[in-house]
Amino acid sequence: MVKYGLDYTRCRWILPLLLGLAMIFGIISLAGWGWVTSQSWPYSARSSLWRLCYSDDDGLCRSLTDYAWGRAASLTFLLAFILVVICFALAIIAFAIPTLRFNFIRGIGGLLFVAAAFGICGLVIYPVKMAQLVPADGMLQLGWAYGFGWTMTLMAIGLGFFFCCLPLYEDHILGNVKPYMIA
């Protein structure tokens, strides 16, 4: 280990912390209204993952789950979010109980890759079909909540790699390796 470098025993909580951050981004994305906006004349449209409103009032809203693609997009993204929550709980358990620490770390990484695959499916289906539904005259804008959805998905991919590679450094994290200094 390099002098003034990374101490594995102190940094083992970074991955669950990042998973918690990905979970918060997923909550923001699921609850946000900024998925798609369109400013075409004579009306404007804004949409969440669940509803599409054609004006500023709620009287002209319809549910996107009435469409098959709306159900598919919302279900796949919701499933990705649920898998990220499960991985967060498993990561907390894995790092809190010393005897279970590295028994299923790679399984958490695999689940994160599955969550990322579901997230990508939902995040690709949504704007493609929304562009066919909303007449936007070429001005369909993807918003901040959609970006938070992509952030959760990309964090799941990156954390999946880290969780799959983490068992290679098991002895360093558990403190079983004598540290050496490079002077």
DSSP code per residue over 87-105: HHHHHHHHHHSGGGTTTSH
With a cut of 80, say whether residue 170 has pLDDT above it. Answer: no
Give the pLDDT band of residue 82 (cuts 50, 70, 90).
Answer: very high
Per-residue pLDDT averaged across 115-132, rounded?
Answer: 90
Distance in angstroms between the alpha carbons of the first and the last residue of the chain: 11
Residue indicated by tokens 């969550």: 115
Average pLDDT, the chain: 81
Q: What is the pTM of this model?
A: 0.82
- At a CB cut-off of 8 Å and minimum separation 6, what does 74 contact? 49, 50, 64, 65, 122
Report percent pLDDT > 90 for the chain.
37
With a cut of 90, say whether residue 86 has pLDDT above it. Answer: yes
Q: Which residue has the higher pLDDT, 153 or 134?
A: 153
User: Do the beta carbons of residue 43 and residue 37 sit within 8 Å?
Assistant: no
Per-residue pLDDT averaged across 51-80, rounded?
Answer: 84
Integer Cα distance of 89 and 134 in angstroms: 39
Per-residue pLDDT averaged across 155-161, rounded?
Answer: 92
